[in-house]
Structure 1
Amino acid sequence: MNDTRVPTLTMRKSLSVKIPLILAAILILAVLLLTLVTAERIKQQVFDREQQYLELNAGSVEKIIRLQLDSINTILSSYADNPRFLEALETGTARQTIGLLNNARELSNYFEDVMLVDPQGVVLASAGLRNLGLRVDKPETVQAALSQGTLVGDSQAYISGAGSPAVSIAMPLLGSSLEKSGAIVAVFNLERFAIDFLSTLNFGESGFTFLVDSQGVILSHPDRDLILTSAAQWPGMAALFRPESPVQGFAAYKNQNDTDMYLSYYRLNNPNWYSIVTDSEQALSAPADQITIIMIIFGLIAVILLGGSILLVLRIAILKPIAALQHQISAFSQERAPIQPPESINNEIQLLRQAFSDMGNKILENTRELEEKNSQLESYNNQVRLELTTAQRVQEAVIPRRFPAVRNLSTYGIYKPMEELGGDFYDMIRISRDQVAVLIADVSGHGVPAALITMMAKVSFTTHSVPGATPSEVMRGVNNDLCAVIEDIDHYLTAFYALIDLHQGTVEYANAGHGEIWLFKGDGTHRVLSPTAPFLGKFPELEFATRQELLDDRDRLILYTDGLTEIRNAQGEFFTEDRLIESISNQVELEPKEMAVSLVDEVLSFRGDAPATDDITLLILGITSGSWGKDIDTDVAEHMAYQSPEDLKAAKEQFTKALLEYRDKKFSVCIETLKTIKDSFIHKHERQKVLNLLGHCCLKTGKLQDCKIYWQEALDLVPDSKELKRNLQIVQRELDAQGKGA
């Protein structure tokens, strides 16, 4: 029985660890994904809020600057279009003019100086007297104010006489003769204004505001070293100062320290300044990052709590019942213990346990039945094995292990069935003192049916192999016996049957579809004994032609079945008949036993590890040294006394010639050849063969009377020949039909 502990551990690990871990992992991923998405949205919202805060502050700065500029406009306008002020300028003394300008300067804490300037920028009067007679730094401001008739601020800052960053703001004089000849100009101290207003505007921990003119020159900044330097050189800032840029906006840039910053700006119209509120990226992103971290922490806590709850529920509701069920299944597989059904069915696990209980009990019941059937089947198989062993022993008895001792003839056979029972067999039958029959047969198929047919064929060949019976008569009798039994089933038999005459040194054979049998001559040549008729067991009353060959000293007759030549190696190649002929030719001088063993060893070596596909059967007959005719009957001895060996040999050669002429359908020539040797044979069997062949030739040429005479004479020599009696009956019917019966 297989050990089931490993599957038990594997199942427990799968149920107790894998399923909860997979569910927990899915849950964790889902919660983390939701947390990250939510945190990202919140982060963006917080950032957007910080951006709005910057934009709001930038707008506040713009309003402060605009209010201050409006205040300057009001102050300067109150002088530029005041008739009394203009009259005082026209009629008053220089001291009075300076006094008026000084009064104007006192109206704003951010006026560094208030001057009266002609169109060329030459200072005609100054509240501080320091610039009197000098040209202002930016005369174009004065010219712009004169041409526009409105307040014009300088587009660029400069260092004033007081050493502070300042801008010039001009208002043309109206309503007097000086209207087109000058303007009142105020020097606006940016540094003081920035200290009083802009520096007090704090935006978080690191935010601040500063002013930039249209060229990117910094007008005010918390870092005084940056005043009057160019902010347009900072990465991301140049786009703000393009004419097509929006009036207000939000942008990212890097400051002079290469720090990532964000800014919100407003562009003033007159003067063309930019109020900028800025803060670092880190400061803007810090609240959002903190919220993200908090969200992730809460998400992890939620995952741990939820995952632990799921695991607890899984363990109580699923894993423990499944583990208990698995334990019972393990006990069932190892000890065949019944699986107890649940007391009640309230959930799927209990329903599963009930199903396993029913299935287990059914398996136990079927197992007991199967064991009973297996016991019966084993008993039956033992009986079949015993019967097969008995059948194998009986079949082995059919294959002769020892052959009759025959002078001048040595025989050796090898039989290797593919299965316990095969379909091949061979035999040697002693017919008389003069004759011995050899046969080899191959039944189609294998196993018990083939073995039964071989035994039946063995009995039939033995029964019909009687003195005086020709190979044709034996084959016909065996064929009729087999047809009566196997004609309607899917089996047939091929066979080669040969009658060896020990006196004449001839072999007469009939080949029923058995393939080619080889006769290797002592002179090194070889002849094929081809089939002369179809196979046995399918066509009753079939005629079987025979042929005859002479045997000489050192001849070898090789009988085998197709399992020898059709055997395959591991590559699927056949041994082939050509390879067999070559092998026989190389060892034809060996004795039959040595040759047979060597050939089979060569065939098995060629097959290698490939499985056997057919029976291997081989029978070899060898003609040994000696002369035919020794120790034979009195008639033959008397014949040998009156006939020289040379004459007998010549007669045999003529008879062989006649056989060839008959085969080539030269019947008239064959008749003349046989007539020359008809009286050369005194022995009745040899004379009967000549007369029988003469009768066949006359039948073929239509000489029915001569045919009847020859066959009657042959029947007188061999009165028991059924073939001659039947042939005479056929000829007699033909003569009677022609009216020549007498």
Structure 2
Amino acid sequence: MFLISFLLFVAAGINDVLVNNIIIVGPLLAHYGIFMMFLFQSISIARNFSLGFVEAETLARQVTQKNEELEGTKQELTILNERLEEKAKEKTFELQSKLDQINKDLKLAKSIVQSLTLIPELEPFLKISVLYKPLADVGGDIYFVKKIQDGYVRVFLCDATGHGLQAALYTMMIQSEFERLNLVATRPNDLLYYMNQHFYDKNAELRIYFPAVVVDFDFSQNLLKFAGAGTQNQIIHKQNGEIVVLENTGPIVGILEQFRFGITDVKFEAEDRLFLFTDGIFEELNEMDGTAALEELVDLIKETRDLPLENVTTYIKDGLFQKMQKTVWKDDVTCIVFEIGNFLFTSA
């Protein structure tokens, strides 16, 4: 459009130059050329403005449409967020309810385990001090002290698998089997034999394996009877300072069929002390070298000879923390100290 108007203007100008120089005869057309150029330019501007206005209206409609779509999407997202919040609240409430139930079950399990580990009155035969630190509310370590009859006491200590509810369930099963067999097993190794056979037969389904220690105190003969199933060597600290090592007498419970466990008999005297413990102490001292860990523990035990019994486990705990350079355990820890009473002197 601009090119046409410009060409008309130039043609009119050339025409006027030729007429003025009497080269051709005709009217002057320059003013018509200017008019036509302005006319065409006005039409072009008006047309471009009209197209721009139409395009602006189209864009405005598109923007409005997009805004409406965005607003709809926003409303959908708002509804979706509200639903998600409701779902999240429902799930949070559901999880909290389950967590509360689990905590309730753990508290019940803890109270049951505590009731099972109650120690009967054993004086003047025995005095007992216990260091029991489960990693969770309910740990895998469990012990029973039973007075079979006057002058005869049986101790059972084991380390069941896991912590929390799993450990509580295993503990209940072990305790049930212990109570069933305790009165029929006349010796510690017999009890381990019967328990081993029971769990071996059940382990196709349950897969419960655990180390255990059984000790009988026969005060009529001043005799200690010991049997161990997959445990660390246990320690007797004699009144004269001598250390007697009670070596393990068989594999862990539930792993070998019809295994006959060995038994160790040791004469005891007044104020002799028996130290029973689970592997948590060894893992704290030296997880890679059991021999070195036992030596360190024996050194600690020797230092307690002149301490009152009630201070022995505290001294051992503080000594372990000092050696480990920390103040928390990484596994269940149990250490039970038995001191032979002075009744022996009066009965002699």
Q: Structure 2 length as normaliser, TM-score?
A: 0.72
Tell me what 2:296 maps to: 579
**1:504–1:628: 8 Å Cα contact kept in structure 2?**
no
Superimposed CA distance per residue, residues 408-462 of structure 1 (whole angstroms, 9 cap, x where no aligned partner) = 4222212111001111112221122232111211112222122222222223223
Q: Give the distance between the partners of 1:458 and 1:554, measured in 2 at CA.
A: 30
Q: Give the corresponding residue for 2:147.
A: 430
Q: 1:362 to 1:543 in 2, by over 3 A?
A: same
Q: Tell me the amino acid that sits aligned with residue 345 of structure 1.
A: Q
Conserved? CA contact 1:496–1:514, under 8 Å: yes
Unpaired runs of 5+ residues, structure 2, are: 1-61
Q: How big is each residue's C-alpha offset from its partner over 1:343-400, in whole Å with a ceiling of 9 and x where there is no partner? A: 9434xx7766554443333222221122122222222222222121111111111112
CA-to-partner distance for each residue in 1:573-618, whole Å, 9 max, x for gaps? Answer: 9993332211110112223321112212333455565653211111
1:397 equivalent to 2:104? Answer no
| CA distance in 1 between partners of 2:121 and 2:234 (Å) | 22
Q: Distance in 2 between matches of 1:624 and 1:613?
A: 34
Partner of 1:521: 238
For residues 310-330 of structure 1, the C-alpha deviation after alignment (integer angstroms, 9 at most, x for no partner) is xxxxxxxxxxxxxxxxxxxxx
Residues 185 and 191, structure 2, Cα contact 8 Å, conserved in 1 = no
Cα distance change of structure 1 residues 550 and 436 upon mapping to structure 2, 3 Å threshold: same
Q: How does 1:352-363 map to 2 (within 5 A)?
A: 355-363=73-81
**Alignment check: 8 A CA contact 1:426 1:619 kept:** no
Q: Does 1:448 align with 2:152?
A: no
User: What's the offset of the Cα at 1:496?
Assistant: 0.6
In structure 2, the CA distance between the partners of 1:627 and 1:365, relative to structure 1 (3 Å rule), is closer
Counterpart for residue 195 of structure 2: 478
Match of 1:512 among 229, 232, 238: 229
Pair 1:379–1:506, CA change in 2 (3 A):
same
What corresponds to 1:327 in structure 2?
none
SS at match of 1:563: helix
In 2, the alpha carbon distance for the partners of 1:343 and 1:384 equals 56
Aligned counterpart, 1:133: none
% identity of equivalent residues:
22
Cα deviation, 1:266-316, whole Å, max 9, x if unaligned, reads xxxxxxxxxxxxxxxxxxxxxxxxxxxxxxxxxxxxxxxxxxxxxxxxxxx
Q: Say whether 1:556 aligns with 2:245.
A: no
Q: 1:613 to 1:530 in 2, by over 3 A?
A: same
Match for 1:403: what amino acid? P
8 Å CA contact retained: 1:403, 1:411: no
Task: Please list the CA deviations of residues 661-706 of structure 1 after superposition, one character each: whole Å capped at 9, or x if unmatched.
Answer: xxxxxxxxxxxxxxxxxxxxxxxxxxxxxxxxxxxxxxxxxxxxxx
Question: Tell me, which stretches of 5 or more residues in structure 1 are unaligned?
Answer: 1-341, 631-644, 646-742
Q: 2:260 aligns with which of 535, 543, 556?
A: 543
1:25 alignment partner in structure 2: none
Asked if structure 1 preserves the Cα contact closer than 8 Å seen for 2:161 and 2:170, the reply is no
What CA RMSD, in Å, does the superposition of the two structures yield over aligned residues?
Answer: 3.0
The number of residue pairs the alignment matches comes to 285
Check if 1:345 corresponds to 2:62: no
Distance (Å, rounded) in 1 between the aligned partners of 2:78 and 2:322: 54
**CA distance 1:487–1:456, change in 2 (3 Å):** same
Instruction: Tell me which of 562, 565, 575 is aligned to 2:282.
Output: 565
> Counterparts in 2 of 1:302-701, with a 5 A limit?
344-346=64-66, 355-400=73-118, 402-466=119-183, 469-567=186-284, 576-607=293-324, 612-627=329-344, 630=347
Q: Specify whether residues 485 and 450 from structure 1 end up closer, same or farther in structure 2 by C-alpha distance, changes over 3 A only.
A: farther
Distance 1:537 1:605, change over 3 A: same
C-alpha separation in 2, matches of 1:603 and 1:480? 36
Asked if 1 retains the 8 angstrom alpha-carbon contact of 2:160 and 2:210, the reply is yes
Q: In structure 2, what is the Cα distance between the partners aligned to 1:573 and 1:450? A: 27
Alpha carbons of structure 1 residues 540 and 375: separation in structure 2 relative to 1, 3 Å: same
Deviation, structure 1 residue 483: 3.2
Mapped partners of 1:380, 1:418: distance in 2 = 22
The verdict on how the C-alpha distance between 1:517 and 1:614 changes in structure 2, with shifts beyond 3 A counting, is same
Q: 1:345 to 1:612 in 2, by over 3 A?
A: farther
Q: Supply the distance in 1 between the matched residues of 2:138 and 2:177 (Cα, whole angstroms).
A: 20
Deviation at 1:545, TM superposition (A): 1.4
Task: Read off the aligned partner of 2:341 and give its amino acid letter.
Answer: T
Structure ID, larger Rg: 1
**In 2: Cα distance, 1:626 partner to 1:434 partner:** 11
Give the Cα separation in 2 of the matches to 1:355 and 1:516.
Answer: 72
Does the C-alpha gap of structure 1 residues 609 and 365 become closer, same or farther in structure 2, counting only changes over 3 Å?
farther
Instruction: Work out whether residues 568 and 607 of structure 1, in 8 Å CA contact, stay in contact via their aligned partners in 2.
Output: yes
| Secondary structure, counterpart of 2:149 in structure 1 | coil
> What is the CA distance between 1:464 and its match in structure 2?
2.2
**Aligned residues of 2:270 and 2:345 also touching (Cα < 8 A):** no
Counterparts of 1:629 and 1:496, CA distance in 2: 30
Q: Compared with structure 1, are the counterparts of its residues 468 and 540 closer, same or farther at alpha carbon in structure 2 (3 Å cutoff)? A: closer
The verdict on how the C-alpha distance between 1:480 and 1:467 changes in structure 2, with shifts beyond 3 A counting, is closer
Q: CA deviation digits over 1:606-655, x for unaligned, max 9?
A: 5565653211111101123343793xxxxxxxxxxxxxx8xxxxxxxxxx
Decide whether the 8 Å contact of 1:503 with 1:629 is kept in 2.
no
CA positional deviation for 1:504? 1.4
Which one-letter code corresponds to 1:501 in the other structure?
A: D
Partner-residue secondary structure (3-state), 2:301: helix
- Greater relative contact order (CA < 8 Å, ≥ 6 in sequence): 2
Structure 2 vs 1, CA of residues 577 and 482 (structure 1 numbering), >3 Å: closer, same or farther? same
Q: Which runs of 4+ in 1 moved over 6 A?
A: 572-575
Shift of 1:507: 1.0
